[in-house]
């Protein structure tokens, strides 16, 4: 990937909003809407911090993933939740056209626009995850997800992990945990459209346990911003004799 890329942040699960026309469907689902099933708590605030600190654009959605999951491909069994999966096909299509497709189109257009000017894109999709899933405590504080088949993504995430660990030695930073970076998702879809020379996608996953105390959350956000900026500078720094 020649030269430093244009950084693009996205947040697919930034809120638990339900459009007025669908609120009756969720009358008995308030607990789910306010849980990790409904949205990624803290993700939008983190994405906004990263966007501001790195002076990079952010494309975000605050519609609940229980209406439609913007991080799932069409045809994936998790695209619609238990609340919406049994809606008539025509209604599901309406949801896709109103909330799902515009978000994906905006991201795709941003990547394509960079490519037309000869610039690559570093896409960082910002997410958070629940500390305990099905009774099991997750021993990950921050996860950097990427496709292992893409050397650029692997090397960049390795660099970011090293820098983040240097800044916060007590932080449990893992690569491709608590999820696999090559699994179905927005970044995976974009990898199928653009070569690695034009697009690198990373999904940042942060443990929601840090939201329990404001100082811990603010410190983590600052460390993530600082480490990401440093990783970009180090990874794309011209080698001796170049530039």
pLDDT at position 24, please?
Answer: 97
pLDDT at position 241, please?
Answer: 47
The reply to whether 134 falls in a domain is: yes
Q: In this predicted model, what pLDDT tens digit does every residue of 179-200 receive, in sequence order?
A: 999 999 999 999 999 999 999 9
The reply to whether 221 falls in a domain is: yes
pLDDT at position 4, please?
Answer: 87
The reply to whether 124 falls in a domain is: yes
Give the residue numbers spanning the domain of 82. Answer: 6-235
Give the Cβ contact number of residue 135 at 10 Å: 5
pLDDT at position 238, please?
Answer: 55
The reply to whether 241 falls in a domain is: no
Q: What CATH number is associated with residue 24?
A: 3.40.630.40
State the maximum Cα–Cα separation within the chain, in Å, rounded to a whole number. Answer: 64
Contact in structure between 9 and 56 (CB atoms under 8 Å): yes
Q: How far is CA 95 from the centre of its chain?
A: 21
The reply to whether 179 falls in a domain is: yes
Q: In this predicted model, what pLDDT tens digit does every residue of 76-124 receive, in sequence order?
A: 999 999 999 999 999 999 999 999 999 999 999 999 999 999 999 999 9
Q: What is the separation, in whole angstroms, between the first and last Cα of the chain?
A: 14
The reply to whether 189 falls in a domain is: yes
pLDDT at position 108, please?
Answer: 98
Count of structural domains within the chain: 1
pLDDT at position 236, please?
Answer: 84
Tell the burial category of 31 from Cβ atoms under 10 Å away from its Cβ (0-12, 13-18, 19+): exposed
Gyration radius of the chain's alpha carbons: 18
pLDDT at position 111, please?
Answer: 98
The secondary element (H helix, E strand) that includes residue 85 is none
Give the Cβ contact number of residue 39 at 10 Å: 25
Contact in structure between 40 and 22 (CB atoms under 8 Å): no
The reply to whether 240 falls in a domain is: no
- C-alpha torsion angle, residues 108, 113, 115, 116 (rounded to 10): 140
Give how far Cα 84 sits from Cα of 25, 88, 95, Å: 8, 9, 10
Asked if residue 243 has pLDDT above 50, the reply is: no
Q: In this predicted model, what pLDDT tens digit does every residue of 204-235 receive, in sequence order?
A: 999 999 999 989 999 999 999 999 999 999 98
Q: In this predicted model, what pLDDT tens digit does every residue of 130-157 receive, in sequence order?
A: 999 999 999 999 999 999 999 999 999 9
The reply to whether 86 falls in a domain is: yes
Asked if residue 240 has pLDDT above 70, the reply is: no
Q: In this predicted model, what pLDDT tens digit does every residue of 19-69 receive, in sequence order?
A: 999 999 999 999 999 999 999 999 999 999 999 999 999 999 999 999 999
| Beta-bridge partners for 63 | 17
């Amino acid at each position: 990937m020649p030269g430093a890329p244009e950084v693009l942040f996205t947040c697919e699960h930034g809120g638990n909003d339900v459009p007025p026309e669908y609120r009756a469907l969720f009358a008995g689902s308030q607990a789910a809407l306010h849980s990790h099933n409904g949205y990624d708590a803290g993700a939008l605030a983190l994405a906004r911090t990263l966007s501001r600190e790195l002076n990079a654009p952010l494309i975000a959605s605050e519609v609940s993933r229980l209406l439609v999951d913007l991080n799932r491909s069409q045809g994936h069994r998790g695209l619609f939740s238990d609340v919406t999966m049994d809606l008539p096909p025509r209604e599901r299509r309406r949801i896709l056209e109103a909330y799902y497709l515009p978000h994906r189109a905006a991201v795709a257009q941003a990547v394509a626009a960079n490519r037309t000017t000869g610039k690559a894109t570093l896409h960082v999709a910002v997410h958070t995850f629940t500390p305990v899933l099905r009774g099991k405590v997750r021993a990950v504080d921050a996860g950097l997800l990427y496709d292992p088949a893409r050397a650029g993504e692997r090397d960049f995430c390795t660099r970011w992990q090293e820098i983040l660990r240097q800044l916060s030695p007590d932080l449990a930073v893992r690569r491709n945990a608590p999820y696999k970076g090559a699994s179905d998702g927005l970044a995976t879809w974009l990898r199928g459209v653009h070569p690695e020379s034009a697009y690198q996608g990373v999904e940042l996953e942060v443990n929601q346990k840090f939201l329990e105390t404001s100082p811990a959350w603010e410190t983590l956000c600052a460390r993530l911003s600082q480490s990401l900026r440093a990783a970009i500078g180090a990874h794309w720094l011209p080698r001796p004799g170049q530039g």
